[in-house]
Every structure is written in C-alpha cells, then in structure tokens.
Amino acid sequence: MSGTRVVGIDGCPAGWIAVSISPEGPIEPEIRIVSRFADLIEAAENTVLAVDMPIGLPDFIGPEGRGPERLVRKRLGERQSSVFSVPCRSAVMTEDYREACAVAAAASDPPRMVSKQCFHIFPKMREIDALMTPALEARIYEVHPELAFWRLNGEAAMSLPKKVKSRPNPAGLDQRRELLVRHGYEARHLANPPRGAAADDLLDAAANALIARRLYRGEGESFPAEPARDSKGLRIAIWA
C-alpha cells in the first residue's frame, strides 16, 4: 500500500508487530512483523508511530514513580496491573536481573526492585532508546494498549482481562476484538495474527493504530499534560 500511513506497534516474540492504516477513512490494515524498530522509522510513509514501549527514562525514580504510569492506572480500574513500573535508565541498560534490581533500588526512593515482566522487555526498551531523539517525537509516541482500549471504550476500562494466569483469556480477547470492529476494523483483519505474534499482540497493535490516528489529527492526550524530560531530552508521557 502507498500513501500516508499511521502505525500502531506492539512488541511480540518475533520482534515488532505493526498495524498500518490510513489516517482517515475506511480501515484496510497492512499487518506485518519486523525484527528492527528502525525499519518502521525509516519508512517515509509512516507519519505517526504509536508504540507500546516506554520512551523517556529518568535517572532517578521518586515516590510518584516515572510519572505517566500513576496517572494511567487511575483510569484502568481492574486492568491497572497491566501498567508496569519503569525503573531508571541505568537499570534498563543492565542485562542481569539481580543487578538490574540492585541498580533500580539504589536509584529510587523508596527503593524499588524490577518486576520480571518489565525486565523481559528491557531489550526492546534499549532498542528504542538507542534510536530516539527529541526530533523524532513529532512522529513517535509512547502509548499503552489498555489505555487505548479505555479511550476507544468511551473512557471506560475493559471489564475482562486479556490474560488469566499468563494464559490468553478468550472472553477478554473477544471483547477487545468486538470493540475494534465497532471502530472500523473488520473481523477478518483481527482473526489470525501473523507468525511470530500472539492474538493479543495483534489486537494491541490494532488499538494503538487508532490512537495513532488521533495523534495525526492532533487529538491525542498526554499523560501527564506537561511531560517531564529525561537526561536525553526525551519526553516522559503516555498518549491516548
């Protein structure tokens, strides 16, 4: 497909799943897996990229945490556990879990360890951090799928979880799929994730693409409204 595109992106076992749609009009998505986030940046037609991955890493974490997570959790009710606490940049750059916990605890007040779930996405966080510059912020935005579904669901959190005890929850996946269909996707678009991605990865990326549309139109909301910046000058905000 050619022409201007906006893209919703989620991490997946094979790398990144990207759902690319036009900024306006009917939805006919292009769904693909890429191994490098840089490939998505380099595609000139990708005008806005909305990615479920922390961007902007503080050097120190205070009582309020990184910032955006606390604000987002308030809106997600029973889904708030899906929002991981992000540690300082030096912890994210650490490849050993125990060392990462020690570094994170030393750079936070009160001292905080690193959750295993967050540690597992450190490689992707490092990949984006190595690429990001303040100039790229005009195109690349941090989002969170459950906040995206909250926005699409009339600012109400989804009532069912996507996973139960780390296993897919069919009822929760169906609930999100039905919501996306109400927003313009067809069921066939969301039926079969490509090899290397799970069903929830596809749904999350599809929801993020709709937030990318909002961002393209200048309708995106930043949490917080006035983002702080890290030592690289990157804003620290989640958008919806």
Kindly list the structural domains of the chain, giving each domain's residue range(s) and its CATH number in brackets, ordered by start: 1-84+122-240 (3.30.420)
- What pLDDT sits at residue 237? 98
Are 125 and 118 a contacting pair, CB within 8 Å? no
Residue pointed to by tokens 């990949």: 127
- What pLDDT sits at residue 2? 57
180, two tokens: 């996306």
56, two tokens: 């902007």
- In this prediction, the residues of the chain whose per-residue pLDDT falls under 70 are 1-2
pTM, two decimal places: 0.96
- What pLDDT sits at residue 165? 86
Question: Which amino acid, 52?
Answer: D
Sequence-ordered list of residues with C-beta below 8 angstroms from that of 233, at least 6 positions apart, any chain: 133, 134
Are 37 and 10 a contacting pair, CB within 8 Å? no
CA dist., res. 141 & res. 79, Å (int): 21
Residues 92-109 have pLDDT tens digits of 999 999 999 999 999 999
49, two tokens: 């990229």
- What pLDDT sits at residue 5? 97
- What pLDDT sits at residue 120? 96
What's the gap between Cα 102 and its chain centre? Answer: 26
Question: Which amino acid, 126?
Answer: R
Residue pointed to by tokens 């990229």: 49
